[in-house]
Amino acid sequence: MKRTLLSLSILASGLIGVGSANADALLGPKLSQDLQSLTGPYDVIVSFEEHNQIDGVLQNLGIPYIALQTMPIAGATVSKLQLQALLASPAVSSIYANTPLEYSNYTSGEITGGHYVQDFYGLDGQGVTIAVLDSGVDATHPDLEFATKTIENVKIVGDLDLLGGRNAFLEGVPNSDTSSGHGTHVAGTVAGTGMASIDDTRRAYYHDGIAPGASLVGLGAGEGISILYALLGFDYAIANRERLGIDVITNSWGGGDGAEFDPNNPINKASFEAYKKGMVVSFAASNSGPTEDTLNQYAIAPWVINVAAGTSDKLLADFSSRGVAGHQYKLPDITAPGQNITSTRAPNTAIGAMGPVIDEENPDYLLYYHTISGTSMATPFIAGVTALLLEANPALSPDQIEQIIKDTAEPMDYAPHEVGAGYIDVKAAVDLAKETSGNRIAFMNGDTLWASQGRWAQADDSAQEFVYVGKWQSKTDTKAFEGTVSKAKNAHASVFAKVRGERVRLHFLATSDQPVSIELISDGRVMGAETIYARNASAGSPQDVAVAFDDLGDGIHDLEVRVLDKGVMFDRMDVDGAILPPDVSFTQSQQIDSGTMGVSAENLEVQEFPLEIGPNDVNLTSTLTWTGVADLDFFLVNPDGVEIASSASLENPEVIQFWTDMVGTYTLRVTGYISIATPFTITTEITSEVQ
């Protein structure tokens, strides 16, 4: 379902880097050199402006080719005359050489200290499981063996709801990567065992991944990965996190390069949910460099690790996307090896046919490995490094893992919006991980660095939104959030607040090593008690202590922070939502719209209904219901014409909930993905603040 809402390109467009070429050039430099000395034929990678131009152009020129299914790219063998004709075609954007390459995961492990960690620390990712959300995994490959290495392999299949089904996952599939090959290469970079290269004289298991001891879960979203399939992949990983022990999700795909961070985008919501559940999420930065402001829109979510691609000389690859100088979100987090990476090959696939490995001493490598480039290759490397850090210290939280990777990076002579913190240093990261006190328990209780909107809403103890009951004293302290704290002079004093959001984090200042306790009550329901304690705290060295409470539920809540011991010093409150005035009240109104969706397929039919939102309106919940066998989609469009929320589930009804941030005429948009003549009704509840 929703296969065509937005096509997300699997980030193998780094294939343009197979010849180490400049992504802006029409003719790759290696191919330019070949034209000076070789008469042909030439093995090339041809990129087109549009996918539907491939067949017409290449067939008219009598060129044999293999076209990718989702990207406008084809591999071909051409004569010099055919090459000249392609260069003159307005449909062709670039042509690069498809040549055998030598650079491999071996080099990646050497230059980053990964092999040192494996050989001298004995760390290889044991006990860690990584989900590869991609085109699939060929677990018949000896390096990715099903059941032992790839512990589960899932094929995400098509729209089943019109047939009465709901199970969109085929489990236990030995090979879920039958036509692309992209996901198989990614999986080998993460955790391939190198079994097919066990006897290599240079190093046993020469072509293994960075974390060969880790387990894999293949999530095969197919070659034409779409928002729905990506969401299903995240949904499966989250639902099966405990059963399969999934610790990491790596994503070498994306779309909307250069777009602004949108916390309401469904992919960003899914990656945040995975992050909040304790999984590290890595995303490819994209391959639209060297132009600036070209980062993958899903990689700039602050809770994921945004990975740029580097060369074996520890330079930034030309194709690696850049961000924007000084932008809060538009910058990579780390750079990792991504140019000319040799990894596992899925035979009889489009991408698997590219970058053949020619090794005279090991001719079988042609069958098992191939070499391609891209941020797609750098991203699983970071996922594998995460496995090493978790093996070294299982108590680390996702926030700590990202910070350790960034704090230990090797500086590069580039701006932060180009390379992030620098080039990954695996050994230094593992060394720091070993000596870091893990805070995973606090993280899992809700004390995360990031909130679902990209930041926490914060209020200092002196904010007007707080109501204090009991004896409290305001005190100054330079270590406090804004220089003041409120100290409880007696037990059972309380702080009251009204908030919107399902998570809240409370900060206290500990000035001694004596533990004190508080409890949180939400809408009359006790959410739990927490102890405020810092071992080395003193009056001369106060310590910030944060406690978080999750699962308050959707909507607006009346909170009471009840102090159980005197001496508690309340510093601030963070909310994943908003802190409201204590005396605010609300009313509700309703709008009902109806219509009939005619015969429709692929969202061709559209009906729209205006919805007026005033300055006091704060929230809307809109429910689309219909009768009969159909598949309708539902969208909310703001006054600027931007789609800001959608419901594209497998359910009837479709429901949109949105906290309004703009006054004006919104639009409720209904589309018919698959529909006969279908009557439908939209019921919209609008919540308004009473002034």
Active-site residues, by number, are 134, 182, 376
The length of the chain in residues reads 691
Spatial separation of the C-alpha atoms in residues 292 and 51, rounded to whole Å: 25
C-alpha 521: how far from chain center: 34
The first and second tokens of residue 686, run together, are 């609008």
For 234, other C-beta atoms within 10 Å of its C-beta total: 24
| Beta bridge partners of residue 672, listed in sequence order | 605, 632
CB 327 within 8 A of CB 349: no
| Beta bridge partners of residue 341, listed in sequence order | 372
C-alpha 480: how far from chain center: 34
The first and second tokens of residue 84, run together, are 């000249």
CB 502 within 8 A of CB 552: yes
By CB atoms closer than 10 A (0-12, 13-18, 19+), residue 406 is middle
Cα dihedral 295, 298, 302, 306 sign = negative
Which H/E stretch holds residue 156? strand 150-156
- Looking only at the bridges linking them, the beta strands covering 556-563 and 516-522 are antiparallel
| Beta bridge partners of residue 684, listed in sequence order | 591, 622
| Beta bridge partners of residue 590, listed in sequence order | 685
227-239 vs 266-276: helix crossing angle, rounded to 10: 10
DSSP 146: B
Spatial separation of the C-alpha atoms in residues 671 and 219, rounded to whole Å: 29
Q: What are the distances in angstroms from CA 163 to CA 235, 486, 630?
A: 21, 60, 11
Spatial separation of the C-alpha atoms in residues 17 and 338, rounded to whole Å: 9
